[in-house]
Structure 1
Amino acid sequence: MAKKNAKKSKNSSASIARNKRATFDYKFEEKMEAGLSLMGWEVKSIRMGKVNLSESYVFMRDGEAFLFGCTIAPLNTASTHVVCDPMRSRKLLLKRKELDKLQGLVDRKGYSIVPISMYWQKGAWVKIEIGLGKGKKEHDKRDDTKDREWQIEKARTMKKAVQQ
């Protein structure tokens, strides 16, 4: 009798959703991982990939961190006795030391806390990567775009030179 391999292949992605706009609008100085307090219907919707992080942000209230603006669309087959609110604020699970650090930097230095990506950890836990940073100015965004285009052009030129 053959044993089934319980491990997933390393090529399979554990990523659920990415906030691509965040890396364009903010310069992150620090990133950290946080757990997410979810209801059962939300986990089922996340497994189906019905998550949008594009307009979301993290705010601090009463010494706790909350994710606001993250849309998790309810499934049609969700339970009828549960009221599904796709835009509710969800509590982030962080240690007290991390919460105090975030609160201090947001209050004193004017940093913003923005979710970068949502992913599965060990196949069962939903984690969210949050970034602590400041907003970019318009000229910073243009510089980043120029640098990215230059890197692409340089790679094309090098590829052509190697082929000849």
Structure 2
Amino acid sequence: MARPRPATFDKVKTVAENRRARFDYFIEQTYEAGIALTGTEVKSLRFGEGSIAEAYAEVNDKGVWLINANVPEFSHGNRFNHEAKRPRKLLLHEREINKLHGAVAREGMTLVPLSIYFNGRGRAKVELALAKGKKTHDKRETIKERDWKRDQQRILRDRG
């Protein structure tokens, strides 16, 4: 029998976070995926370098790929150093890949990386979200809601 998955992912050290994604997209579902990395990429991530601000994920017949994620070259790497923006394979179960492929193809959803982190076992993981894009008026609603919550907290703090 399979081990039950935790409700939230075990994030020990967050390396890169895409904060803009939660503003630009409605997050439907999140997945935890492993990344196929080379040695110098892992070392670079362990030093806290890396960016996924402009990254996205793509599903094709060969699997799921992380495109445009920037992991800078390792400073002490030799001639076998890695490329900074190469496509990286994401490691998911076959049924998860099929589910993502169906959602992206039929429902017009997008795969957006939310964060890159190291879990409790020291493995690099990507928090991947199945998301639907927000329109401009939806973004305005999000801003209003965020401002109202901030004002609410200020009022409660002043009275209490």
TM-score (norm 1): 0.88
User: In the superposition, relative to structure 1, how do residues 117 and 152 fare at CA in structure 2: closer, same or farther (>3 Å)?
Assistant: same
Change (3 A) 1:101 1:63: farther
Contact 2:15 2:118 in 1 (8 A): yes
User: Does 1:20 pair with 2:19?
Assistant: yes
Question: Gapped runs of 5+ residues in structure 2?
Answer: 1-10
Alignment-derived partner of residue 141 in structure 1: 139
Matched, 1:157 2:160: no
Q: Compute the displacement of 1:61 (Å).
A: 1.9
Distance 1:73 1:123 in 2: 23
1:134 is paired with a residue whose SS is strand
Calculate the TM-score normalised by the size of structure 2. 0.90
**TM-aligned CA deviation for residue 159 of structure 1:** 0.6
Q: Deviations over 1:62-111 (max 9, x none)?
A: 2400000100001221122x142100000000000000000001001101
- Which residue pairs with 1:89 in the alignment? 87
Q: How does 1:33-72 map to 2 (within 5 A)?
A: 33-72=32-71
Aligned structure 1 segments of 4 or more residues deviating by more than 3 angstroms: none
**AA partner of residue 57 (structure 2):** V
Residue number in structure 1 paired with 2:111:
113
Count of residues in Structure 1 that have an aligned counterpart in Structure 2: 150
Q: Give unpaired runs (5+ residues) of structure 1.
A: 1-11
Partner residue, 2:7: none
Query: What secondary structure sits across from 1:114 in the alignment?
Result: strand
* Greater Cα radius of gyration, structure 1 or 2: 1
Larger mean Cα displacement after TM superposition, 71-80 or 52-61: 71-80
